[in-house]
Every structure is written in C-alpha cells, then in structure tokens.
Chains A and B, each alone.
Chain A
Amino acid sequence: MKIIILGAGQVGASVAESLVSEQNDITIVDVDPTRLNALQDRFDLRTLVGSASHPSVLAEAGAADADLLIAVTQSDETNLVACKVAARMFNVPRRVARIRATDFLNDEKVLGPEGFDVDLSICPEQVLTDYIVKLVEFPEALQVLDFADGRVSLVAVRSYRGGPLVGRQLKDLRRHIPGVDVRVVAIFRRDRAIVPDGDTVIEVGDEIFCLAPEKHIRRVMRELRRMDRPVKRVMLAGGGNIGLRLARALENDYSVRVVEHNKRRCEMLAAKVNRALVLNGDATDEELLEQENIAEMDLFVAVTNDDEHNIMSALLAKRMGARRVVALINRRSYVDLLQSGEIDIAISPAQATIGKLLAHVRRGDIVSVHSLRRGAAEALEAVVHGDRESCRVTGRRIDEIDLPAGTTIGALVRGDEVVMAHHDSVIQAEDHVIVFVADKKTLPRVEKLFQVGVRFL
C-alpha cells in the first residue's frame, strides 16, 4: 500500500515505524529536515521536506497514486486542509487526520465530504487518556481493551506469588467462576508466548491475556488477582495535554492532584479543571511529594513528555509509598528495562494509540486493532463476510480453520450476543471475530483469512 504520512513528530514517527514493518511504501513529509533525517536513518521510507498542506508538496509526495493519507502534524488546521486538498486534487481514497480540538468533531458537517473530507479523525491524547482511565477503573489490570463497542473486553494481568491461580491449571479457572465464559487467549512467560490450553499451569510472573464479556470482567479479575481496594486518590505528574485530559476525566470520581512545574501552565490548568488540585513543582521533588502525602496515593501516573522524568518520578513515588505507579515511556529500550521492575505499568504512547490507525490500514474488514506487547502481538476485531466458497473462515468450525501458530480466535460477537469461541463454534457471515495474534509476523496470513475472494465481488 502507498501511504503518505504528514508530520514526523512522535505520532508520525511511531505510525511510520509500525507501517514500515508491514511492507508498505511510505513517504513522510515534515518541515523539519533533522527529524526526517533521523527517521530515514532508522527506517526504509522516503522523506520530503515541505509544508504538509501545500498541493505542490502533496503532488511531489506522490498523492496522485497514494492509497492512504495520514495527516498527523501538530496543527489541526494543517491536517484538515491537507485532507481536503488530497481529496479534491488527488483523489486519495482514504484520509486520516489527527484532530485535537473537539470543537471540530461536534458537527459532522465539518469533517464530512462537503467539509474537510476526513474519513477518520484520531486524537492520540484522547486515546491514551481513555487507556489510562481504564487502568484507574481496573487497578489490577495491566491493560484493558474493548472490542465490539465495549461488549467484549481483553484484560491483561500479571500473576504474582501467592495469587489465587498460581500453580493451577487453566481449566480450574472455569470451575472457579461458574456461569462466566472466559477464555485465556495467550500467556506470555518471560517474554515468550505460550499457546494456552486447559492443562497449562500458571506460573508466577506470567502475563495472562483473557477475553470475557465486559459485564463479567470484574468477576474474572477477582479470580485472577486478589481484588485491590478501589482507587480513590490519584496523582498525575505532568499537566500537559494528557495530564489535563486525565485530570478532567478523573476529577469527578477520584481525588486528583496534578503536579506541573511550569507556573503559567499551572494557571492554565487550574482554570480548566474543576475539582482537581493543581500543584506547582517538580514531580521528582521529594519534599513536594511528602507534603502532598504521596504514601496515601493509590495511583501515581507520570505523563510528562520526558521519558527519564517519568521514570524517575514514578520510581521515587513508588519508593515513597504510592501503591501503584504508571509511567508513560516512549523509548522501547526503557520499557524493556523497566516493565517488571518497580514501575507497575509502563505505557508506550505510540502502541496505545496506533490501533485505530492500524485498523484502517489492514486488509479485510477490520473494525479495531489493539497493538500489544510493544507491537509484537496484536488483538484485532474482524467482520466476516462472504460464504463458505468465497471466504476461508465463513461457515467453518473453528478447528477447521487453518490458523497460523500462536493465533487464537477468542470470541464471536453475533449481533448483541457474545459467544466465547470453542473448537466447535461455527463462524457465520457478519460475525465479529476477536482474534489474538501472538506473533506479528503471521499477520498477513491472518488478514488473508478474513479477505473475501474475487468471486464474491
């Protein structure tokens, strides 16, 4: 696929990174040559210096035969104009824009075909905020992801010494929670995927991914880990875009404190939040943390745009008694260093936010994609079309389907009904299928499974 990415900032770079690895032709445009050079050194893509919304620049980037335009520059306006130009002048079939201001989203006329002609708008900050809010709601989980409009959830938990399930076989799980259909789709042990079956024994430190209807998530979680007491007090380090959104999302249900070092930003934050408390200072300042009772905090979330700062403040907070600490970490190497150490959850913003875009890039009718384990694994929701003749999935029992190793079909959503997949479940046309792909290399084969053959068209 030929893809043009406008903007080589953090989002642009991570989008480029995950798309390059999937055999796409990528051209990335930015006004800053140094950023482009850095990207070109790391990835196999073409770069172009210029203003992203200018027709001449788009023409040079190859908009005329591009399949997808992803506008993720810093400016909403540039992204909007670029989409319009791409649609009108170059007939680029699909256009994605990053839009931060919710004002543009209130009326669909703005983004519709008469407006700026944007197919999909994404706001990474908002996605990340939703992601973290889930973690606040389910403090035991490493990750909580929704499928089929929230009807099915995928949760990742880490087993710990003394936990209720450690040393038991997976089939015990079902016996423990009668009436709840839950399916363990994958277990990662020491960073390697294990394809689970009923006899698999859970060990300490396993990362367990299980799929269950949303309404049963709490019960499942209670089984996997002793229920922590619910979160009441949250401290956020960093009052940037994400910090502000988080504070506003959480302030009505939790006691929220935001630590921000920039005084003017503090004033702005204080004006925009209602109940959250804005504190001026450095989140690595012991005295400030002490003053604000860090030991009483149920959750400490470091969301500055500085990896090192996030790590240090999270470590400090943990040391000073915060019950659970979460840090936003962009650099992959840091994440590997820390994941199972003192920091309870390290979130990679790029991975958390890229799913929505990936769903748009994938072949086949893919509704949503969640990138897991720093991009090594993926969980996706695909819609099945066609019939037994034209599609390799439709009308077949699950054990008849030729799935690549490490790939599991976890659940089917048929209308409003959620069916946990068993070896004898039959997939019908228009089902939403939740697939867990433990190894990303097998993705093209999975995609092909869900594509409808030529005859159907």
Chain B
Amino acid sequence: MERLNAVLNLLSVVVIIFAATMLVPLGLSLHLADGAEQAYDTAILATALAGGLAWVATRGRQRELQARDGFLLVTLAWTALPAFGALPLMSYLPKLTFTEAYFEAMSGLTTTGATVLSGLDRLPPSINFWRCELQWLGGMGILVLVVAILPLLGVGGRQILKAETPGPMKDTKLTPRITETAKGLWGVYALFTLACVLAMHWAGMTWLDAVMHAFTTMSTGGFSPYDASFAHWNSPAIEGVTIVFMLIAGINFATHFQVLRKRSLKSYRDDPEVRVFLGIIAVSVVGITLFLLAKGVYRDFWVALRYTAFNLVSVATSTGYANTNFGVWPLFAPLWMLFLVSFVSCSGSTGGGIKMVRAMLMFKQAFRELARIVHPRAYIPVKLGGHPIENNIIFAVLAFMLVYGGTISVMTMLLAATGLDFVTAFSAVVACINNLGPGLGQVGPATNFALLDDFQTWLCSAAMLLGRLELLTVLVLFTPAFWRK
C-alpha cells in the first residue's frame, strides 16, 4: 500500500499538470468565441479537483521511485489521463458516450489518430485543437514532460523514461542527468514542431491549421480537423512538407538531439536504423507506385507517385493522414502499408509498431541461426552499427515479438467473434496496436471507428494503450511477482 500511495501521489501531480494543459484550448476558445468555453471550465475544474484531492489524501507519502514503480505510474497515468482528456469532449458533445470519448482521448494521447467523431469540420476549433494537443503531449510522452519540468522525481525519473519511451535499448543516456535528457528530448521535439508549423504555414495552411497539423505530424498522430483529412487542401506543397516532417518524426529523437548538439549530420549516418528506415520507405514508395500503375489505378506516374508517397509515408510512420481513400486500392498496397507500420519506425521516435531496431535484430538473429548450421563452432554476434548486441536483449526482443504477435492474434479473434469481418477486425487491431489510426474495410480511411460497439471500442482502446507503452510495461503489472514485496 505504501508503494501505491507514493505512486498515487505522483500521479496526482501529473493530473494537475494535465489540467493545466487544458488552459490552452480554453484560451483559444475565449479568443475565438467558438462557444466551447463551458466545456473546458467543467473539465479543468473536475480534473484539478480530482488531482488535488488525490494529492491531499496521499500527501507526505512521497519517496524515491523504485524500478517497478515506474511501470505502475506510467500505466496508471496512461489509463487515467484519457478519462480526464475525454471530459471536454463529453461536456461539449452530450451525445458522446464515455466509451467513445475515452476512445477518442486514448486515440489522441497514444497518437493513434483513430476517431469516432464525424463532422469534424463543424466542431469548434478549440475542440479540434484539444484533440491535436492531446496527440502532441502523448507523442514525446507526457511523463517525460513531467520528468523534464519537475525535479521531484529524482532517480525515479529514469524508470519512467524507460517505461515510456519506445525501443528495446533504453540505457543510452544522452546527458549525465535524466532531467536534462528529458528536457533535451522535449526541446528537440518542440523545435521540430515549431519548424513544422512555419513550413506548413509557408505551404499554404492558416496559422491555426498549421499548429494543429504540426502537433499531429510530429507526434505521428494523424488527427485532422477535417473529415477529408489532407484531401481538404489537395495541395502537393502541403503534402510534400508533411512527408518530410513525418519522416523526421519517424527517426529517433535521441539521434536528432545528437545532430543538433554536435551540429553535424554524422549522427544520422551512424544511426543504423535511419538508413534502413529511409531505404525501406523509398523502395516501398517506388514499388507501390509501379504496382498501382500496373494495376491501372492511376494512369500518370507523377499522380501515382504523389498519392503513394503521401499515404505510404503517412501509414508507415503510423501517422494516419490520408489524401485519398487508399482503402479502395488493390488489397496488396494497403496490406503492405500495414505491414510497414508494424516495424518501420525507429526506436525513440514518435512512431508506433515494434520499431525498426527490433526488426533488424530479429532479421540478424535469423541469419545467425542459418550461419550456425553451416559453422557450428562459430561465434557470430548480432551486431548493430558495428556493436555486438548482448543475448539477453535478443531474448527480450524475441519475447516482445511473441507477446506482440500473440496480442494481435487474440484481439483479432475477439473482434472477429463479436461479428466484425476479418479484414476489419485484423486491420483495426493492427491500426490500434501500432498507433496508426485508419484501418481497412469498415474502419478504413474513408470511414471511422464509430460503428464499433462498446466492447469493440474498449478492446481497441486497450490495444492502443498496449501498443503505445510497448506491451510489457503494461503486462508486467499483471504478473504476481510484480506485487510481491
């Protein structure tokens, strides 16, 4: 109980900070007089009150976080915050059920970008802004933000960072102190977001649209304030800028940090993931373009290239924007894109999936086993960027893959059991667990997740949470050993 109290105490602080982030859409709402102020008043009050009460109740129980507490805090925070984040939506849209609002907020925070709302264009700008802000906060991780701005966590901050940032190898500290690392990551994230805002405005968006889309681009979230997503503009310039920033968001932010600190692009070259990430995407874009031409979907090469490049990069980086309904392309193309999203983003990026580094390790492990058949006595290390990777990391990656595959299978079956067709069920799970957004079939880019029933919606919310926290952070809480003293 002692432990839970300490964690709840920190959680209450996180909730209060989260309440403060709602002041931004409130200010916007007042400024634009869009009629949604009421929604924020209620939500801020309720959130701050809940946080405050929890804080008072657990006051005086602070202590240094231990390794396991980090997992508990992160999972609790990521379960609780969507509930509070749903409040503005619920109070503005009384017809929205809690299930749907929670799904929407979870989809925001986990940067998934799946939505149950339609008629986005008619929503007040501040509500749309709130959805986008949720994604931006969730992209780099709200707890990383807390670590960056609150010194109170001390050593425990490291555990939180480990539990919240994606990738199998998290021991590379960028700076000697963990708060500095968190500040650095958020700083780089904010800097690129700013650059993205300017670029998008230059390409033709209004300032408000530019900010919202920069939020959802850099977090690879994919929310858009328009039902038509990027087809709203139909502008190659905007799409080009967005492609560039989606690719940036798919690269490890620690690498961006190194590049900015050393003022040299060498770090990109030294990062073994970057090359493969960009390479696979480039080859896929060309391949799918030719495939679509061959299938007669498009006549003109440049048109095909434009639609393929935008949608493929958007899906592969787990952003989820669309400028055309790629759901109607021959099935191979969208399936290939769904395949890419499950592994292509770099570790430490805001993208989803199992991350490129795990895929590379698995690939190399497979080759190692083949080589061992020919040379039974050989020592063949799995290397990444010239450095050998220890076996325990490989085992951890193997276990992760197994759990990942198992989770996808079980969830797909559950959705299929509730009556969805296979393509819809499977693509919904893949889209949620990889924090992508649009799936195929009934949840494709032209439709949304509103047709799911309550159980299906909750299942998808759970998939998003598991995917964002990379499964093990959450699942470890369900092991008896975790709770033993």
Interface assignment of A292: CB less than 8 Å from any CB of chain B: yes
Query: Do A291 and B376 have beta carbons less than 8 Å apart?
Result: yes
Taking A278-B378, A278-B379, A291-B377 as known contacts, 20 extra A-B pairs with beta carbons closer than 8 A to each other, sorted by chain A number, are A263-B379, A266-B379, A267-B381, A267-B388, A269-B379, A270-B380, A270-B381, A271-B383, A271-B387, A271-B388, A274-B386, A277-B375, A278-B380, A279-B378, A280-B377, A280-B378, A281-B377, A291-B376, A292-B375, A292-B377
Residues 369-394 of chain B, each 1 if its beta carbon lies under 8 Å from chain A, else 0: 00000011111110100111000000
Residues of B within 8 A of A280 (CB): 377-379
Q: Compute how far the CA of A278 lies from the CA of B387 in the bound complex, rounded to whole angstroms.
A: 16
Query: Do B377 and A279 have beta carbons less than 8 Å apart?
Result: yes
Q: Compute how far the CA of A269 lies from the CA of B381 in the bound complex, rounded to whole angstroms.
A: 10
Residues of A within 8 A of B376 (CB): 291
Shortest Cβ distance from residue B368 to the other chain A in the assembled complex, whole angstroms = 11
Residues 256-295 of chain B, each 1 if its beta carbon lies under 8 Å from chain A, else 0: 0000000000000000000000000000000000000000
Most buried by A among B377, B379, B381, B383: B379
Shortest Cβ distance from residue A236 to the other chain B in the assembled complex, whole angstroms = 14
Residues of B within 8 A of A267 (CB): 379, 381, 388
Given A271-B387, A271-B388, A274-B386: A279 touches B381 (CB 8 Å cut-off): no
Q: Compute how far the CA of A279 lies from the CA of B380 in the bound complex, rounded to whole angstroms.
A: 9
Interface assignment of A288: CB less than 8 Å from any CB of chain B: yes
Residues of B within 8 A of A279 (CB): 375, 377-379
* Chain A stretch 291-325: residues in CB contact (< 8 A) with chain B: 291-292
Shortest Cβ distance from residue B98 to the other chain A in the assembled complex, whole angstroms = 54
The chain A residue with its CB closest to the CB of B371 is A277
The chain A residue with its CB closest to the CB of B387 is A271
Q: Compute how far the CA of A114 lies from the CA of B387 in the bound complex, rounded to whole angstroms.
A: 35
Residues 242-277 of chain A, each 1 if its beta carbon lies under 8 Å from chain B, else 0: 000000000000000000000100110111001001
Residues of A within 8 A of B377 (CB): 279-281, 288, 291-292
Q: List 20 A-B contacts (CB under 8 A).
A: A266-B379, A267-B381, A267-B388, A269-B379, A270-B379, A270-B388, A271-B381, A271-B388, A274-B386, A277-B375, A277-B380, A278-B379, A279-B375, A280-B377, A280-B378, A281-B377, A288-B377, A291-B377, A292-B375, A292-B377
The chain A residue with its CB closest to the CB of B386 is A274
Shortest Cβ distance from residue B479 to the other chain A in the assembled complex, whole angstroms = 32
The chain B residue with its CB closest to the CB of A287 is B377
Residues of A within 8 A of B387 (CB): 271
Shortest Cβ distance from residue A278 to the other chain B in the assembled complex, whole angstroms = 4
Residues of B within 8 A of A277 (CB): 375, 378, 380
On chain B, the number of residues with a Cβ less than 8 Å from chain A's Cβ atoms is 11
Residues 181-199 of chain A, each 1 if its beta carbon lies under 8 Å from chain B, else 0: 0000000000000000000
Residues of B within 8 A of A292 (CB): 375, 377
Q: Compute how far the CA of A274 lies from the CA of B383 in the bound complex, rounded to whole angstroms.
A: 9
Shortest Cβ distance from residue A297 to the other chain B in the assembled complex, whole angstroms = 14
The chain B residue with its CB closest to the CB of A292 is B375
Q: Compute how far the CA of A277 lies from the CA of B383 in the bound complex, rounded to whole angstroms.
A: 13
Tell me if B's interface is mostly helix, strand, loop or mixed.
loop
**6 nearest CB pairs, A to B:** A270-B379, A271-B388, A266-B379, A278-B379, A270-B381, A279-B377
Q: Compute how far the CA of A165 lies from the CA of B418 in the bound complex, rounded to whole angstroms.
A: 89
The chain A residue with its CB closest to the CB of B389 is A271
Shortest Cβ distance from residue A192 to the other chain B in the assembled complex, whole angstroms = 46
Residues of A within 8 A of B378 (CB): 277-280
* Chain A stretch 350-399: residues in CB contact (< 8 A) with chain B: none
Shortest Cβ distance from residue B391 to the other chain A in the assembled complex, whole angstroms = 10
Shortest Cβ distance from residue A283 to the other chain B in the assembled complex, whole angstroms = 12
Q: Compute how far the CA of A270 lies from the CA of B377 in the bound complex, rounded to whole angstroms.
A: 12
Residues of B within 8 A of A270 (CB): 379-381, 388
Q: Compute how far the CA of A280 lies from the CA of B376 in the bound complex, rounded to whole angstroms.
A: 9
Q: Compute how far the CA of A310 lies from the CA of B377 in the bound complex, rounded to whole angstroms.
A: 20
Shortest Cβ distance from residue B380 to the other chain A in the assembled complex, whole angstroms = 7
Shortest Cβ distance from residue B469 to the other chain A in the assembled complex, whole angstroms = 32
Q: Compute how far the CA of A292 lies from the CA of B375 in the bound complex, rounded to whole angstroms.
A: 7
Shortest Cβ distance from residue A23 to the other chain B in the assembled complex, whole angstroms = 50
Q: Compute how far the CA of A263 lies from the CA of B378 in the bound complex, rounded to whole angstroms.
A: 10
Shortest Cβ distance from residue B266 to the other chain A in the assembled complex, whole angstroms = 18
Residues 289-318 of chain B, each 1 if its beta carbon lies under 8 Å from chain A, else 0: 000000000000000000000000000000
Residues of B within 8 A of A288 (CB): 377
Shortest Cβ distance from residue B191 to the other chain A in the assembled complex, whole angstroms = 34
The chain A residue with its CB closest to the CB of B380 is A270
Residues of B within 8 A of A271 (CB): 381, 383, 387-388
Residues 54-82 of chain B, each 1 if its beta carbon lies under 8 Å from chain A, else 0: 00000000000000000000000000000
Shortest Cβ distance from residue A274 to the other chain B in the assembled complex, whole angstroms = 7
Residues of A within 8 A of B383 (CB): 271
Q: Compute how far the CA of A271 lies from the CA of B378 in the bound complex, rounded to whole angstroms.
A: 13
Residues of B within 8 A of A278 (CB): 378-380
The chain B residue with its CB closest to the CB of A277 is B378
Q: Compute how far the CA of A269 lies from the CA of B377 in the bound complex, rounded to whole angstroms.
A: 14
The chain B residue with its CB closest to the CB of A269 is B379
Q: Compute how far the CA of A278 lies from the CA of B378 in the bound complex, rounded to whole angstroms.
A: 5
Shortest Cβ distance from residue A240 to the other chain B in the assembled complex, whole angstroms = 15
The chain A residue with its CB closest to the CB of B388 is A271
Q: Compute how far the CA of A263 lies from the CA of B381 in the bound complex, rounded to whole angstroms.
A: 13
Residues of A within 8 A of B380 (CB): 270, 277-278
Shortest Cβ distance from residue B377 to the other chain A in the assembled complex, whole angstroms = 5
Shortest Cβ distance from residue B313 to the other chain A in the assembled complex, whole angstroms = 32
Residues 49-93 of chain A, each 1 if its beta carbon lies under 8 Å from chain B, else 0: 000000000000000000000000000000000000000000000
Residues of A within 8 A of B386 (CB): 274
Q: Compute how far the CA of A123 lies from the CA of B377 in the bound complex, rounded to whole angstroms.
A: 32
Residues of B within 8 A of A281 (CB): 377
Residues of A within 8 A of B381 (CB): 267, 270-271
Q: Compute how far the CA of A60 lies from the CA of B379 in the bound complex, rounded to whole angstroms.
A: 49
Q: Compute how far the CA of A291 lies from the CA of B372 in the bound complex, rounded to whole angstroms.
A: 12
Residues of B within 8 A of A269 (CB): 379
Residues of A within 8 A of B379 (CB): 263, 266-267, 269-270, 278-280
Q: Compute how far the CA of A11 lies from the CA of B375 in the bound complex, rounded to whole angstroms.
A: 36
The chain B residue with its CB closest to the CB of A263 is B379
The chain B residue with its CB closest to the CB of A274 is B386
Residues of B within 8 A of A263 (CB): 379
Residues of B within 8 A of A266 (CB): 379
Shortest Cβ distance from residue A256 to the other chain B in the assembled complex, whole angstroms = 12
Q: Compute how far the CA of A266 lies from the CA of B377 in the bound complex, rounded to whole angstroms.
A: 11
Shortest Cβ distance from residue A351 to the other chain B in the assembled complex, whole angstroms = 33
Q: Compute how far the CA of A165 lies from the CA of B383 in the bound complex, rounded to whole angstroms.
A: 51
Residues of B within 8 A of A274 (CB): 386
Residues of A within 8 A of B388 (CB): 267, 270-271
* Chain A stretch 201-253: residues in CB contact (< 8 A) with chain B: none
Q: Compute how far the CA of A267 lies from the CA of B377 in the bound complex, rounded to whole angstroms.
A: 12
Q: Compute how far the CA of A292 lies from the CA of B378 in the bound complex, rounded to whole angstroms.
A: 10
Q: Compute how far the CA of A106 lies from the CA of B383 in the bound complex, rounded to whole angstroms.
A: 26
Shortest Cβ distance from residue A239 to the other chain B in the assembled complex, whole angstroms = 10
Q: Compute how far the CA of A269 lies from the CA of B388 in the bound complex, rounded to whole angstroms.
A: 11
Q: Compute how far the CA of A270 lies from the CA of B387 in the bound complex, rounded to whole angstroms.
A: 10
Q: Compute how far the CA of A175 lies from the CA of B386 in the bound complex, rounded to whole angstroms.
A: 52
Q: Compute how far the CA of A429 lies from the CA of B377 in the bound complex, rounded to whole angstroms.
A: 60
Shortest Cβ distance from residue A287 to the other chain B in the assembled complex, whole angstroms = 9
